[in-house]
Amino acid sequence: MANYERISNLFTELAHEFRRISTQSSTTPSTPFPAPRHVTPNISPANRYDSPEHEATHRNILAHAMNEGSVTTRTDRLEPLAHARLNIPIPGFPETVAQIESMKEARICAVLAALGCTVDGDMAQRRRRLRARIGCGRFN
């Protein structure tokens, strides 16, 4: 995890260095150094790229691509996706495409919700949505 206080301090030091350089004379007297822009670090939890949501998104993109490329039968093992907000393993995530067919309604709804998907529709629609979301839509 990044140390945002340290990064903020580095930006402050960098801004100070730019101000110091701008007060020095240039190599040619007729061409002054341009004044530096004011640098204000804008690091907040809202724009962090190591948040659980961002990490889960990247992890799930990779898992989706791996499933799409390597799962060729209904019994091949799936690369599990992570909870969309928490970036943790999803309890009850199916190990194979075949397992999706035997999943109960509550379990499918829980997995879809953890992936940030809607749980609307009948069981056939939910199963299709789950297969598509994990990268196995060709088995629909």
Query: pLDDT per position in the chain (140 positions), as tens?
Result: 456 777 777 778 877 777 776 666 555 556 665 565 665 666 665 556 678 888 999 999 999 999 999 999 999 999 999 999 999 999 999 999 999 999 999 999 999 999 999 999 999 999 999 999 999 999 98
Contact between 52 and 85 under an 8 Å Cβ cutoff? The reply is yes
DSSP string for residues in 32-52: PPPPPPPP-----GGG-SSSH
Residue 16: its pLDDT value, please?
75
How far apart (Å, rounded) are the C-alpha atoms in residues 105 and 121? 11
pLDDT, position 38: 61
Total tally of structural domains belonging to the chain: 2
Question: Same domain, yes or no, for 43 and 56?
Answer: no
Beta-carbon contacts of 81 under 8 Å, excluding residues fewer than 6 positions away, are 59, 60, 63, 64, 90, 93, 115, 133, 134
What is the CA 13 to chain-centroid distance, rounded?
A: 30
Are residues 59 and 108 located together in one domain of the fold?
Answer: yes
- Quote the domain boundaries for residue 86: 52-139
